[in-house]
Structure 1
Amino acid sequence: MITLTTLNRPTTNISLTVTIDSALCVGAGGSSGSLADKPIIRNADKKLLIPASQLKGRLRHECEKIARALQWSICESPKAETMCPQRKGLDGNFEREAYRVSSDPIEKNRHCLICQIFGNPVLPSQVLFDDLICTEDPENLPEVIRPGVTINRRRQTAEENKLYFLETSPANAQLQFKGDIHFLPDCPDFGKALIYASLQHINALGGSKSSGLGWLTWNITKLDIDESVWQSLAKGGES
């Protein structure tokens, strides 16, 4: 649980500006009055947005990949039974001192680096994400509908009666989306380093990335991260 007293303590923020280099397709559930089967998501002001949940999920995945590449033992999300502290069926060195968390009242529990940042069923997340909101006035953005068809991967042909329509942002409009990442006071220093590094590995967001949608360029506020933090992460399985 994140308490109000915690939020009143100073946080460290990263300001993000995302420029969409192609067209964005982040679908919303339900009907929005659009003719598209998958309308694009908007906020109450009808501005396009990239949900914070999508950014957080992608960043967790990228952080897991980096940590595993550095030989850290990492649990498997998103199933609770394979995440810390249960880690059902997982092998690895999870008993190391770096996995001890003082905020967990159960002394024997250990939590991998990723769970210490993003949380798990026992630990709260130590990082909060804003939705990335488009800076362009929605009145200037026309509705763009793209057709698509389901492909039968076995026969390598189009499925019958499987035509669908996607709503996207205008292509090549260089739309900018802005938001912040907030590191809570108890977020470990390696969390800031891993997230900063992981942002460099995300080249697209949203759906239909393989067909060229959602490709982007980041403009990120640089974090002051001590060299010792990077060196500690690089040790990985050595410690």
Structure 2
Amino acid sequence: MAGDASLFYDRFDNRRRIIGRLVAITPVRIGSGGGIPEPGAVDNPVIRDAYGRPFIPGSSFKGVWRTFAEQVLGQLANGDRGCCDPLSEPCLSTKSVKELKKEHGKNLQALAQAIYEQLCPACRLFGSPHFAGRVRVRDLLVIESSWPGFYEIRPGVAIDRDKRTSLTSRKYETEAVPAGTAFTFEAIVENATEEEWQDLLLTLFPFIRGELPIGGSTGRGLGRVRLENVKVASVTVSNLRQFLIGGWESISTEEMKDVCRASELNPGGGENV
């Protein structure tokens, strides 16, 4: 399947949509980054949309997902080749790509195949500078009925690491979204091989069991989440016309447990699968 030209992006082969609810088991903190603080404002506010509501950027969820995939997929891959470190030792360098371009010239299909074959399992799924990944994660928007309309404020104080004492002059406040708040989850998987699809499902199970934290201050107990009510819709050539006319609403969804059964995967009876 890896060599099938239809599984690149010049032709449509399949598209899958994974939807669900990401529920905060403990308070969750996704920081808003820089900016000039206003007088009286919280030192470390959470990221908000234009209406002041919390949300989780799709890149934040995808980053945690990819990091976990890099840890485990290399152990599951056939052969001795595992996943790369995309920052220090990428599986395919810019120099290697230039050499491949010289070798294959204007034969773009052969060039794409050569690049794909040298990528590690994580880069094939989540992308690299030289290959568009299979997975796109939408921003996770808050489900307003689950959000109480306010944020938790957690006080903190800086620690002198040498004296092992607190620095009372350096107090700060951290903002977090309260536990119980839920966010919409949607991921689109494009033209994945069956092996890639199984890899993706395997790396999603820990989110369903609530084992992978997200956001900041996870070492202080924040950020534990659980993915619930996971469903999958699939578009292939056989129902492509139906999808183009009616969109995702016209495509039936399957429960996660049924998708796992069809892919010959057993998630171990997780309560939310």
TM-score class, shorter-chain normalisation, is 0.7 to 0.9
In structure 1, the partner of 2:174 is 166
Whole-angstrom distance in 1 between the partners of 2:175 and 2:194: 40
In structure 1, the partner of 2:153 is 145
1:83-126, CA deviations, whole angstroms, 9 ceiling, x for partnerless residues?
121399xxxxxxxxxxxx96626579611111111111111111
One of 17, 22, 37 as aligned partner of 2:21 = 17
1:201 alignment partner, SS class: helix
State the AA in 1 paired with 2:185: G
In structure 2, the partner of 1:206 is 215
Cα RMSD, aligned residues only: 3.4
For 1:1-40, list aligned pairs within 5 A: 11-29=15-33, 30-31=35-36, 35-40=41-46
State the AA in 2 paired with 1:188: T
Q: Shift in Å at residue 50 of structure 1?
A: 1.1
In structure 2, the partner of 1:84 is 91
In structure 1, the partner of 2:183 is 177
In structure 1, the partner of 2:99 is none
Whole-angstrom distance in 1 between the partners of 2:117 and 2:27: 45
Asked if structure 1 preserves the Cα contact closer than 8 Å seen for 2:69 and 2:122, the reply is yes
Q: Tell me: higher relative CO, structure 1 or 2? Use CA pairs within 8 A at least 6 residues apart.
A: 1
1:60-93, CA deviations, whole angstroms, 9 ceiling, x for partnerless residues?
11111111332552343332x61121399xxxxx
Aligned pair in 2 of structure 1 residues 210, 227: CA closer, same or farther (>3 Å)? same
Larger Rg: 2
Asked if structure 2 preserves the Cα contact closer than 8 Å seen for 1:19 and 1:176, the reply is yes
Q: Shift in Å at residue 11 of structure 1?
A: 2.0
Whole-angstrom distance in 2 between the partners of 1:160 and 1:110: 53
- Counting aligned pairs with the same residue, the percent is 24
One of 136, 141, 146 as aligned partner of 1:133 = 141
Aligned pair in 2 of structure 1 residues 9, 106: CA closer, same or farther (>3 Å)? closer
Q: State the TM-score, normalizing by the size of structure 2.
A: 0.65
Unpaired segments ≥5 residues, structure 1: 89-100, 231-239
Are 2:47 and 1:41 aligned?
A: yes
In structure 2, the partner of 1:74 is 82
1:167-190, CA deviations, whole angstroms, 9 ceiling, x for partnerless residues?
1123x4x11111201001x22333
Whole-angstrom distance in 2 between the partners of 1:66 and 1:167: 32
